[in-house]
Amino acid sequence: KAGVTQTPRYLIKTRGQQVTLSCSPISGHRSVSWYQQTPGQGLQFLFEYFSETQRNKGNFPGRFSGRQFSNSRSEMNVSTLELGDSALYLCASSLVGADNYGYTFGSGTRLTVV
Amino acid sequence: KQEVTQIPAALSVPEGENLVLNCSFTDSAIYNLQWFRQDPGKGLTSLLLIQSSQREQTSGRLNASLDKSSGRSTLYIAASQPGDSATYLCAVRGAQKLVFGQGTRLTINP
């Protein structure tokens, strides 16, 4: 069974540009969450989508946005990139209504802003 | 606001030792607690998931316990091996999100 797939694995962008990251969840998982990992802040919650609707959002500026498609695939967009956006972005999927189920994470996208 | 703390931040032990990693959380209103392993530059690998109604879970050489009322969980690793070297993260699930600790960086010396 295929795991959570994130593309691309690595990205280098210039300050001021925008970037789109993609996440394909495990088949049958309809909930997709995004997390940012940095050495200083650790893992921080960005947002969660279920059935194409954002259910919850973390404490990030509006430059960070996302969406989910009808096939449960999700994209995350960061506009007007700043140096501090350099991080490992992790996507996780979970079963629908899965308060009692765990999350499965992808390998992440390493974003470097120069 | 849920806060998760992991102690110690780093641990180095010789191969073959049994060891315990600690995780504490401030809000006991959780659905479950999950332990993950992360190798450098990689994603998270789920090790164990404990439901809020459970006391412990076991997988191979790993055993995780949960005391929800006191806000604590421990991950016990038996007969440690060099391949166990990684960062171990605990995360508690609240309303539609996971809250992570900062992790324990574990090094097993051959």
Give B51-75 pLDDT, tens digit per residue. 999 999 999 999 999 999 999 999 9
Nearest-CA distance B46 → chain A (Å): 7
Q: Are B75 and B47 in contact (CB under 8 A)?
A: yes
Task: Give the mean model confidence (pLDDT) for residues A9-36.
Answer: 96
Task: Give the mean model confidence (pLDDT) for residues A35-60.
Answer: 93
Q: Are A35 and A47 in contact (CB under 8 A)?
A: no
pLDDT at A99: 61
Q: What percent of chain A is modeled with pLDDT above 90?
A: 84
pLDDT at B96: 67
Task: Give the mean model confidence (pLDDT) for residues B90-103.
Answer: 89
Q: What are phi and psi of B83, to 5 degrees?
A: -70, -10
Size of interface A-B (CB pairs under 8 A): 57
Residue in A with minimal Cα distance to B33 = A102
Mean pLDDT of the residues in chain B: 95
d(CA A96, CA A10) in angstroms, rounded, equals 29
Q: Which residues of A touch B (CB under 8 A)?
A: 6, 33, 35, 42-43, 45, 48, 55-56, 58, 88, 90, 92, 99-108, 110
pLDDT at A96: 65
Nearest-CA distance B18 → chain A (Å): 26
Nearest-CA distance A113 → chain B (Å): 17
Query: Which residues from chain A sit within 8 angstroms of residue B98, using beta carbons?
Result: 33, 35, 43, 45, 92, 103
pLDDT at B95: 73
Task: Report the residue from B42, B43, B97 with minimal CB separation from A33.
Answer: B97
Which pLDDT tens digit goes with each residue over A82-104? 999 999 999 999 986 556 678 99
Task: Give the mean model confidence (pLDDT) for residues B30-55.
Answer: 94
pLDDT at A1: 62
Strands (E), chain A: 5-7, 10-13, 19-24, 31-38, 42-50, 53-57, 64-68, 74-78, 87-94, 104-105, 109-113
d(CA B25, CA B6) in angstroms, rounded, equals 9
